[in-house]
Amino acid sequence: MVKFERALSDKCEAALRELAAMDGYNWWKEVLACEELLLAVRGGYLNAYKAGQAVFKIGPKMVGRRPRVKIHYKYLVEPKWEENPYIEFDGEHFCVDPAKVVQTRYQSGRTLRNLIKTAAHFSGEEKKGVAQIIENEPRVVDVEIAFTQSGDAEGAKAESW
């Protein structure tokens, strides 16, 4: 049976501390300052949640001296496109400039706000309800659980995204 640990690796934790201590703004400082996000330590990595949606998965793997950060592509859609998601199609081409629809670069003071807005848009009633319970109940320890056929982590999928 694989041992379940609720902690970040020493390397990941050190890298996040270094990002937090850097001069100027960066994505990690914005995540830490954001009251809309819930940070939860998982099995060796960190999730940043909005309305039950995992906006960021941070670690456990490293890219050089920085933690690897993953985000679901659907959160990269510019929030303004949620209001009118239809794009014209001429039978051969989709009439759209991808740079206007999808965020491709992190911009301090803008991108995190947009990611959060888009994540909330994709959150269903169940996830929103669970998020509300978590916000109002300080005794909640964990909000995710997975059962495998064999009862241990060996049968579990290593990464969902």
- pLDDT, one tens digit per residue, over 10-32 is 899 999 999 999 999 899 999 99
16 inside domain = yes
156 inside domain = no
* pLDDT band, residue 63 (cuts 50/70/90): very high
Q: Taking Cα atoms as reference points, which of 31, 38, 102, 107 lies closest to residue 69?
A: 31
Per-residue model confidence as pLDDT tens digits over 66-113: 999 999 998 898 877 666 778 899 999 999 888 888 888 999 999 999
* pLDDT of res. 9: 86
149 inside domain = no
Per-residue model confidence as pLDDT tens digits over 132-143: 777 776 666 566
Q: What whole-number percentage of the chain has pLDDT above 70?
A: 78
20 inside domain = yes
* pLDDT band, residue 51 (cuts 50/70/90): confident
96: its two tokens? 């759209």
Query: DSSP states of 81-148 as a string?
Result: HHHS----B-SS-B---HHHHB--S--TTTHHHHHHHHHHHH--HHHHHHHHHHHH-TT---------
Q: Domain range spanning residue 125?
A: 10-138
* Rounded CA Rg of the chain: 18
Q: Is the pLDDT of residue 2 over 70?
A: no
Asked if the peptide bond before residue 79 counts as cis, ω within 30 degrees of 0, the response is no
Looking at the structure of the chain, the number of domains it has is 1
**Placement of tokens 């400082």 in the chain:** 29
